[in-house]
Structure 1
């Protein structure tokens, strides 16, 4: 509700204005003052949208009051009503950007028309300001998106001179959330996405953050600094995961950064967040990253050891050298510093590991295997056992390197599949099945060969295809959305804006305008 301040030293005049406001059903919060001095006090105490003031009043006249009001509220709508109709007054009113002036006695029709015009002015101004703020927020999101993708700060400053880059200093941490299914593209309406954001905010008291939709699988939260909130990483991660699981019945992987010291380190920190989440292929029972290694070192359950052995066996089967080395190292690290485990169990476990390794690749004959097992049972220190197994590991790694497919060839097959099936749902699991590799290994070699992750590659391809269709065809945006593999129009439009800095329709208009001018 807008607020109007009626200022006149004649109570009857104020009553007439109040009567007309009620008669024409203007929904306004009405405040009265009987002189300019009292009105100025009211202006300083609370926000006023419309100033309806007489000219000649004691203490402070209407002209001075309007001047002071304009200093306090640059967008205030001022209406003078006076018994004087002269040229000097009109000039002064116009210089103060008064909306109108009404002569006494007030004519009801003129009053109604003037108030309607004033209220419409306020609404138009609010709408314009909201659009400016929305465009600014969009640009900020676009800048953040480009920044984490390693666009230089100097280049961004030159491209967006109207943006105050100080907002980048508002963030204390970055949180990467990832789903194994295209969750965000499945939210049916824009408000459902906003509701999802609200759920995250409600999970943590006094928690404030901005969001970047990276792709249908990932979202990046940029946590704002708050000196009144104790930022406990483990508690934050647990609450977010619990809130999302409770509302949607799904799990998400969460990777959280250390405290930011400078916006310039955002690209490197984001890269680390993605790398930490890649560990999900080695810690299938966890959703919070980076993994607390002290936990894995202190686990003593033989069942967990069996899981590690199975993972190592699968790595050999799929020629996944990264996973093989990773899990071998996990097993070594677990017992390298754990002095409470029985020596007998340690010898039994690593003898079992030796048998499994040799059986899978047939690198040793039976006699050599038995001799090596005897050596393991004769070791007095774990470092000696580790040395024996590392030697076997090196033999197996050499064999795997000889047998595995060429990474370049594998990546070419994956790229070709993506280009042929970009209209369909594409996931890391699906793509890894096409080349008979584990998701973790495929993700690793894809980044090594292309310099970017698979999800980012898919999004970039779809965005470029959408841009090309906007440029070459007259297809509707909704049809383009479906053609390039998106199911949700609002999500597609938002992703396009964040990628190119303009909505699809706006981009098409700019392209056509440039073509006409060339």
Structure 2
């Protein structure tokens, strides 16, 4: 409800105005003041939308009151009324952007028309301000996208001189969320991005954050500075993961950044987040990264868990995934390196089984050499000696895998070709890795090494460029372009396009046509 302040030193006049406001059923919160000084005190105490003031009053006249009111509230709507038909007063009123100047006695029809006009002005102004704010927020999101993708901060400031870049200093941490399937693009219509943000707010009480969806599989949360809470970012990430699983029934993986002291650190911190979250391919039950160092294991042997680990090592060798191979070998070493409560007989049996499995899949040794190493495992006085034997075998296997595995550049070309041919379809890391017979983790790693960006980002960039070309060269509807480039959710496609190019598809098409006309 809007608030109106009636300032007049004559009570009867104030009563007339109140009567007319009620008669014409204007929904307004009405407050009164009997002089300019009292009116100014009311303005300082609470915001006012409309000032209805007499020109001549004790202490502070209406002209001075209106001046001070505009200093407090630049968008306040002012209506002067007076019994003095004086042109000088009218000129001053108009210089203060008064809506109208009403002479006493007030004519009811004139009064009704003036107040209606004022209310319409307020509503129009609110819409304009909301549009400006929405455009500003869109530009800020676009700036964040480019900043984390290593566009220099100074360059961004030069490109957007009207934007106050102090908003970047509000953020203290980043949390990267990764989904196995497209997230926003698959949300039911009743569960839009606003609903998602509400779920995040439930998980991080006492904190606030902004978010940008980087691509269908990734969302970046920017946590704002909060000096009152002692909760760590890892705890926030854990709560978010649990809330998302509770609400949507899906798992998301998160990686958390350290606290950054300057916006210029954000690109390097984001790069670390992407590297940290790649570990999700190696851990089936860990959702928050970077993964903490495992404490010494106190369990007295878990053969089933060990069998799973041996199975993962075997698959890593089969798929030529050196990263996963080394990772799982290290896990096995760490599990027993300080686990003094486990029977040394079981440890010797486990690592002799590992040795036989490795040399069986890649026959590096003859039978005599294998038996010699097995005897050494059973006679080693310390676990570190067993570790040295297996590390030596591991290094030989890695060398052989490096010699035999396919050229990464060739693999990337195959993947790129497949993406360009099937960009209209659902594309996932698992699907692409199947095309080249590699594990998802290894494909992701070499794709970044060879192209400088992740697969999801590459797919999004391709789809955005194709959408831009279609807007430029065809009259296709935006909804048809959305489907043509592989998106199912129109609102998500429009938002993604805005964040990528800084304008909606329709706006981009209009600007493109103007360029053609002017050229």
Shorter-normalised TM range:
over 0.9
* Per-residue Cα deviation, 1:311-354 (whole angstroms, up to 9, x for no partner): 11001111112211221122223333433433222211110100
Offset of residue 86 of structure 1: 2.4
The secondary structure found in structure 1 opposite 2:192 is: helix
Matched, 1:379 2:380: yes
Cα distance in 1 for partners of 2:35, 2:157 equals: 50
Please name the residue that 2:507 is paired with.
506
Cα distance in 2 for partners of 1:190, 1:477 equals: 22
* Per-residue Cα deviation, 1:109-166 (whole angstroms, up to 9, x for no partner): 1111111111111111111111111111111111111111111112111111111212
Offset of residue 400 of structure 1: 1.8
Q: Structure 2, unaligned stretches of length 5 or more?
A: none
The secondary structure found in structure 2 opposite 1:90 is: helix
Please name the residue that 1:66 is paired with.
66
Please name the residue that 1:294 is paired with.
294
Question: Contact 2:176/2:218 (CA < 8 Å) preserved in 1?
Answer: yes
Please name the residue that 1:168 is paired with.
168
Matched, 1:362 2:349: no
C-alpha distance 410-41 of structure 1, shift in aligned 2 (>3 A): same
Cα distance in 2 for partners of 1:11, 1:339 equals: 92
Cα distance in 2 for partners of 1:464, 1:296 equals: 50
* Per-residue Cα deviation, 1:154-207 (whole angstroms, up to 9, x for no partner): 211111111121211111111011110111111244862111011111112211
Offset of residue 262 of structure 1: 1.8
Question: Contact 2:184/2:192 (CA < 8 Å) preserved in 1?
Answer: no
Q: CA RMSD in A?
A: 1.5
Mean Cα displacement is larger for which, 482-491 or 181-190? 181-190
Mean Cα displacement is larger for which, 477-486 or 367-376? 367-376
Question: Contact 1:254/1:288 (CA < 8 Å) preserved in 2?
Answer: yes
Please name the residue that 1:311 is paired with.
312
Cα distance in 2 for partners of 1:198, 1:290 equals: 26
Question: Contact 2:234/2:256 (CA < 8 Å) preserved in 1?
Answer: no
Please name the residue that 1:182 is paired with.
182
The secondary structure found in structure 1 opposite 2:503 is: coil
Offset of residue 101 of structure 1: 0.8
Mapping for residues 34-45 of structure 1, pairs under 5 Å: 34-45=34-45
Cα distance in 2 for partners of 1:295, 1:283 equals: 16
Cα distance in 2 for partners of 1:302, 1:275 equals: 31
* Per-residue Cα deviation, 1:282-328 (whole angstroms, up to 9, x for no partner): 11121111111224866653333222211110011111122112211
Please name the residue that 1:49 is paired with.
49
* Per-residue Cα deviation, 1:454-495 (whole angstroms, up to 9, x for no partner): 000000000100111111111111111111001111111111
Please name the residue that 1:320 is paired with.
321
The secondary structure found in structure 1 opposite 2:358 is: helix
Cα distance in 2 for partners of 1:251, 1:320 equals: 25
C-alpha distance 295-415 of structure 1, shift in aligned 2 (>3 A): farther
Please name the residue that 2:15 is paired with.
15
Question: Contact 2:296/2:339 (CA < 8 Å) preserved in 1?
Answer: no
Offset of residue 506 of structure 1: 1.1
Please name the residue that 1:95 is paired with.
95
Cα distance in 2 for partners of 1:191, 1:502 equals: 24
Matched, 1:127 2:152: no
Question: Contact 2:426/2:486 (CA < 8 Å) preserved in 1?
Answer: yes
Cα distance in 2 for partners of 1:444, 1:210 equals: 29
